[in-house]
């Protein structure tokens, strides 16, 4: 399932000076687009294409998929809120379309929506490709109440870190757990890698960047929501995107690859 983040209408002109963007960077930048979502239009040649991001319209509220939020306890899923009524991405290619209650960007009609105990600003949808088994949607009008970026987290509250292969394998029931850091030394060591002095860029990446390996680090602080961030490996170089791209020490591999 294609996962992007709000209805975005942006005019992209492909000029001769096209710039290359790291495929890894776009995953983290989508979170920023969700927080500061602006209407955009995308043009492909002479035809206009509406590029829908992952949203649900429900009871007059616009919910956006939260790629950083992981439900700590799936038992918090409570009553059924309702069902998706209409899939816009398969049926609408017009910038003048006004979304209606029950519309969803990518979910099929009949997909069940759930409330979450203790998280009234969220909706949940069952999704085996998610670490918790549910994809979470946050009321866009309430997004400022919830930290969206690593810099907003209170790191002293992090007690456990899980490392996953985040990509859904059709032969598996969920993303693969690679490692769990629970003792204070390992948790603090991992966080120090993220917040300390960063490594220089491998010169080989400048001239011959490989496709990245992508991992998900889930930071647990004892609250209802854990927070997920992506860590990348390009060749021998570890890096991530807390805001801009930052290179990490080679020792990061000892935490990622158990």
Distance CA 192, CA 142 (A): 31
* DSSP state for residue 99 in the 8-state scheme: P
Mean pLDDT for all residues in the chain: 82
Q: With cut-offs at 50, 70 and 90, classify the pLDDT of residue 47.
A: low
User: How high is the pLDDT of residue 26?
Assistant: 43
pLDDT in tens, 215-239: 999 999 999 999 999 999 998 899 9
Handedness of CA 64, 65, 68, 73 (dihedral sign): positive
User: How high is the pLDDT of residue 187?
Assistant: 97
* DSSP state for residue 32 in the 8-state scheme: H
Q: Is the pLDDT of residue 15 over 70?
A: no
User: How high is the pLDDT of residue 172?
Assistant: 63
Q: Is the pLDDT of residue 42 over 80?
A: no
CA max distance for the chain: 57
220, 245, 98: which is closest to 160 by C-alpha? 220
Residues 146 and 153 sit within 8 Å (Cβ to Cβ): no
* Mean pLDDT, rounded, for 89-94: 91
Q: Is the pLDDT of residue 241 over 70?
A: yes
Q: With cut-offs at 50, 70 and 90, classify the pLDDT of residue 72.
A: very high
Q: Is the pLDDT of residue 192 over 50?
A: yes
pLDDT in tens, 131-169: 999 999 999 999 999 988 898 899 999 999 999 998 766
pLDDT in tens, 207-217: 787 899 999 99
User: How high is the pLDDT of residue 70?
Assistant: 96
Higher pLDDT, 243 or 205: 243
User: How high is the pLDDT of residue 119?
Assistant: 97
Which element (helix H / strand E) includes 73? none
């Amino acid at each position: 399932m294609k996962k992007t983040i709000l209805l975005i209408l942006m005019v992209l002109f492909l000029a001769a000076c096209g710039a290359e963007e790291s495929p890894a960077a776009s995953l983290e930048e989508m979170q920023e687009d969700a927080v500061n979502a602006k209407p955009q239009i995308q043009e492909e040649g002479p035809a206009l294409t509406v590029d829908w991001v992952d949203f649900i319209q429900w009871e007059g509220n616009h919910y956006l998929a939260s790629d950083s939020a992981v439900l700590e306890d799936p038992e918090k899923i409570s009553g059924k809120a309702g069902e998706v009524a209409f899939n816009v991405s398969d049926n609408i290619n017009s910038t003048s379309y006004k979304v209606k209650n029950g519309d969803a960007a990518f979910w099929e009609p009949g997909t069940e929506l759930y409330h979450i105990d203790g998280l009234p600003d969220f909706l949940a949808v069952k999704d085996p490709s998610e670490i918790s088994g549910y994809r979470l949607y946050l009321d866009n009008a309430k997004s400022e109440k919830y930290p969206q970026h690593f810099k907003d987290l209170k790191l002293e509250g992090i007690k456990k870190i899980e490392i996953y292969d985040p990509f859904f394998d059709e032969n598996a029931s969920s993303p693969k757990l690679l490692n769990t850091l629970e003792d204070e030394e390992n948790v603090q060591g991992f966080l120090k890698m993220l917040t300390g002095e960063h490594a220089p860029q491998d010169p080989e990446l400048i001239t011959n960047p490989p496709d990245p390996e992508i991992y998900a680090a889930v930071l647990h602080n004892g609250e209802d929501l854990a927070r997920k961030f992506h860590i990348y490996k390009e060749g021998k170089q570890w890096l991530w995107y807390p805001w801009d791209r930052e290179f990490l020490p080679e020792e990061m591999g000892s935490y990622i690859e158990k």
